[in-house]
Structure 1
Amino acid sequence: MRRTRLAAAVLLAATLTGALSPAAAARPSDPVQRRLDLLVERDGVPGALAYGGGTTRTAGVSDMTTNRQMVGPQGRFRLASNTKAFTATAVMRLVADGRIRLDDRAGTYVPQLATHAVTVRQLLKQTSGLPEYTALVDWSKGGTSQEYLALALGAEPDFEPGTGWGYSNTNYLVLGMVIDRASGVGFRTYVERTILRPLHLDDTYWPAPGELALRGPHARNYGVHPAFPEAGVVDVTELPGYEFGASGGLVSTPGDLDAFWNGLFGGRLLPGWALGLMTRDTTDVGGRDVYPAGSRYGYGIASHPLSCGGVYWGHGGDLPGGSVGGGRATRGRGTVTVYTTTWAGGGESLGHLQGAVDAALCAGGRG
C-alpha cells in the first residue's frame, strides 16, 4: 500500500496543482501550518491535516466539488500501511502469549508456504524476499488473500530469505494468515480484541466485505483508481478496503491513531521485552524508498531521525487517495498524525509531509 504508479502520481500532482493553487501569500510563522500550506498551494494536495497534542491544523478543502472546509480530527481516513503496525503488534501479542515463535517457519501456519524457509521474524522485518503482490493483482476483479499470495509465489523472489531487505505488502498479507491460524478467530477479530477495544479506539474499524465508502465524517480522496487507471485523476474515496487486509485495510481517525502510538509505546499492549524487540531488531533503510538517512525498520514500525534530536517511531502509508505520516517521538516530544487527501509520497510533497511531522514533534508535542 505504498509507492506505486509514479507516472500517474506525477500527472496527479500536475492536475491538482492547476486546479487548486491560489495566489502566492505570505507564509504563517507556524512551521507546521507552513508545510501544510505548501502541500496544498505548491504540491496540489486538495486537503491536509496535522493533529497532535490536542492541536489541529488544516489546509485546503475536504471536497473539491463543494469546497467544503477540511475535516478535523474526527474525520475518518484509510490508514494504508500504518495498518502494518497494528498487525505486527498483534503478532507480538501472540508471541508474548507463547502461541507463535518468531523463528517459526511461516509455512507452519500458512499451507501455501509449506516448502518455503521464510520465518515469522523475516515477515515482520520485511526481509523475507517475497515479491510484491499488489503490482500483480487485477484490481478490477479483486480476489482472496490466498489468490493474492499465489500471485506473489508465482513470481521470482526478490532475494533469498534473510539476505536482504525489501518492502513488500505480501509479508503482511501472510502475517494476517498467520494470525488467523494461531489465534483461531481471524486477524480482524484478534486485532479488535487485543488492540482496538483495550485502547478504546472506537472510531477505528476494518471495512466489511464489499464495503467501499468510509463511515462517518471524512474528506473526499482523489487519485488514479487502481482498477480504472485509464480514467486518470478521479474521486477515489470509495475503495475495496476489505481487500487491503492486514497490509493496509484499517480505517481510523487522527485521534485514534495517536492513541494507538501512545498505547503501544506507553506499554499498554505488550510486555517491555516484546516492544523492545520491535524497536531493537532493526534494519538500516535510510535512503531507500521513502526513508530519509538514519531511518531503521523494525517489526512493522520504523524510526526516523528528528531535526531537533532523537527519533520518532511510526510507519507511514500511501494509497492513490492519500498519504499518512507521523508517530510518537522519543524524549517526550509527543505524538502526531499528518495526512493528505491524495498521494503525497514522493518528491517535494513527501518532504513537506515529513517536514510537517518533524516540525510538530520538534515543537515538543504541542502540535
Structure 2
Amino acid sequence: MHRQRLAVTVLLTATLTGGLVPAAAAHDAHRPDPVQRQLSLLVERDGVPGALAYDGKVTRTLGVADIESGRPMVGAQGRFRLASNTKAFTAAAVMRLVVDGRIRLDDRAGTYVPQLAHHTITVRQLLKQTSGLPEYSALADWSRPGTPEDYLALALKEQPVFEAGTDWGYSNTNYLVLGMVIDTASGVGFRTYIDRTVVHPLRLDDTYWPAPGEFTLRGPHARNYGVHPARPDAGRVDVTELPGYEFGASGGLVSTPEDLNAFWDGLFGGRLLPGWAVGLMTRDTTDVGGRDVYPPGSRYGYGVASIPLSCGGSYWGHGGDLPGDSVGGGRATGGRGTVTVYTTTWAAEGDSLRHLQGAVDAALCAKRR
C-alpha cells in the first residue's frame, strides 16, 4: 500500500486526540469487530483524530471530524483528498490510450514530453516506477503555484536515482510526466481525459479535480491535521486547505470512500478496460516487499499494487498520504469485495501504518470468515 508523501520532508512529531463518538457500525458485543478494533488502535493509541472504514455495505467510524467542535466523523460520502490513489486513475487513463492505439507502452516518454527528448525513459517505466527520475515534490516551493514543466525541471536538475529500467524507486515525478503524456496524446489535458474515460463512465459523481487556486474541500468532509509543507515551523496545524490543483496527475483528485470503492470495482471488474489491459497492469510487476510501506510479498504494477492478505490471496489498490490524511484499501482477489480506510492525519509509518493496514486486512478477510 505504497503512498509516497507529496512533501517527503514532512514529519509528524506530535499526537492529537479527540473525543470519541459511537461507531457507525453495530456489531455483536460478544464478538468484537476486528475492523473496529483496528480503528480503535488508530484513534485511542496512535492519536488519529478520526478514522473510517467503508467496505461497500458497512461504514465504521471512530473519533471526530473536527477536534475543535467535536462533531462526529464523516461517513462514506465525506470528501477527502485521494493523494497517491490518483495514480491508479492516471494509469487507467494511460492504458485507455494504449488500448485505443494512441500510444504504446514502449514509446519513449520524450515523444510526448519535450523535456525528456534526450532520455530513454519509456511510458511503461513511468507506470512501473522504474524510470529512475528523482522525486520533485521535495524540491518544489508549495507556497506558490507552478506548472508541470516547472516541477519536472526541478527533478531533471538532479542526478537520476538509477539508470532507467534497472531498479524500482517510487517517485511522484513518474506520474507528473504521465499526466503530460496524456496531455499530448489526448489533446484535451489529463484532467479532462481522466474525467471522460474513468470518472464519468463509472459515475463517480463526488470525485473531482480542484480548480486552480482552490484550497478548500467541497461538500461534507472532515478536517485534516498535520505539518503544513509550506509552513513547517508552525508545527501541527489544521491542513485541510491545500493547493490540490498543484498535486496534479500524481495526487490531485478529491473523492469519497463510496466513489473510491466503485473505482476499484470498475477497474478490476472490467468496466473501464479490456481484460488484457488490466492483466498487464497486474502481471507486469516488481517485487517491492519490505520497501517503504510495503509488507513482504507485495508487488507494484502499473499504478496499482498487490498486498498479501492474512487469510490468503491479496488485494489490489494503491493508497495515498498527505500531511493531513492517509488512505488505504482496494479490491481483494477471489471476489471478496473492496474497502477504503481513511484517517484524518498522516499514518504512514510505525504502529499507525500497521493499524491502518490491519483495518484493510480485517475488512477484506471478514468475507471469508
TM-score, normalised via structure 1 length = 0.95
1:108-187 paired onto structure 2 within 5 Å = 108-187=111-190
Match of 2:195 in 1: 192
Letter in 2 for 1:256: D
Q: 1:331 to 1:362 in 2, by over 3 A?
A: same
* Paired letter, 1:261: W
The residue aligned with 1:2 is: 4
**Corresponding residue SS for 1:203:** coil
Q: Tell me how many residue pairs correspond in the alignment.
A: 359
CA deviations over 1:220-262 (Å, ceiling 9, x no partner): 0000000000000000000000000000000000000000000
2:235 corresponds, among 232, 237, 247, to 232
Question: Which residue of 284, 292, 296 maps to 2:295?
Answer: 292
Q: Distance in 2 between matches of 1:345 and 1:134?
A: 17
Secondary structure, counterpart of 1:327 in structure 2: strand
Residue matched to 2:15: 15
Evaluate the alpha carbon distance shift between residue 320 and residue 30 of structure 1 in structure 2; reply closer, same or farther with a 3 A threshold: same
Indicate how the Cα distance of structure 1 residues 328 and 184 shifts in structure 2: closer, same or farther if over 3 A, else same.
same
Give the Cα separation in 2 of the matches to 1:10 and 1:170: 23
C-alpha deviations, 1:169-198, integer Å up to 9, x for none?
A: 000000000000000000000011011111
Within-5 A mapping of 1:1-367: 2-3=4-5, 9-11=11-13, 14-16=14-16, 19-20=17-18, 29-364=32-367
- How many Å separate the matches in 1 of 2:7 and 2:152? 21
Q: Which amino acid aligns with 1:324?
A: V
What is the rounded CA distance, in whole Å, between the counterparts of 1:161 and 1:119 in structure 2? Answer: 8
| CA deviations over 1:16-52 (Å, ceiling 9, x no partner) | 1xx4488xxx997101001001100110100000001
Are the aligned partners of 1:336 and 1:357 in contact in 2 as well (CA < 8 Å)?
yes
Query: Aligned partners of 1:3, 1:39: CA distance in 2, in Å?
Result: 19
What residue identity is the alignment partner of 2:186?
S
Is contact 1:118–1:161 with CA below 8 Å preserved after alignment?
A: yes
Tell me how far apart the structure 1 counterparts of residues 6 and 150 of structure 2 sit (CA, whole Å). Answer: 21
Runs of 4+ in 1 over 4 A off after TM superposition: 4-8
Conservation of the 8 A alpha-carbon contact between 1:323 and 1:339: yes
Contact 2:6 2:321 in 1 (8 A): no
Confirm or deny: 8 A CA contact 1:79 1:252 kept in the other structure.
yes
CA-to-aligned-CA distance 1:39-73 (integer Å, 9 cap, x gap): 00110100000001310000100001000000000
Q: Is the 8 A contact 1:224 1:232 kept in 2?
A: yes
Distance 2:249 2:8 in 1: 24
Which residues of structure 1 form unaligned runs of 5+?
Answer: none
Contact 1:52 1:365 in 2 (8 A): no
Report deviation, 1:308.
0.2
- Letter in structure 2 aligned against 1:226: P
1:144-187 per-residue CA deviation (whole Å, 9 max, x = no partner) reads 11000000000010000000000000000000000000000000
Residue deviations 1:112-161 (CA, integer Å, cap 9, x gap): 00000000000000000000000001112231110000000000100000
The offset of 1:10, in angstroms, is 4.1
CA distance in 1, matches of 2:98, 2:197: 13
Cα distance change of structure 1 residues 37 and 152 upon mapping to structure 2, 3 Å threshold:
same
CA distance in 2, matches of 1:27, 1:136: 52
1:4 CA drift (Å):
7.0
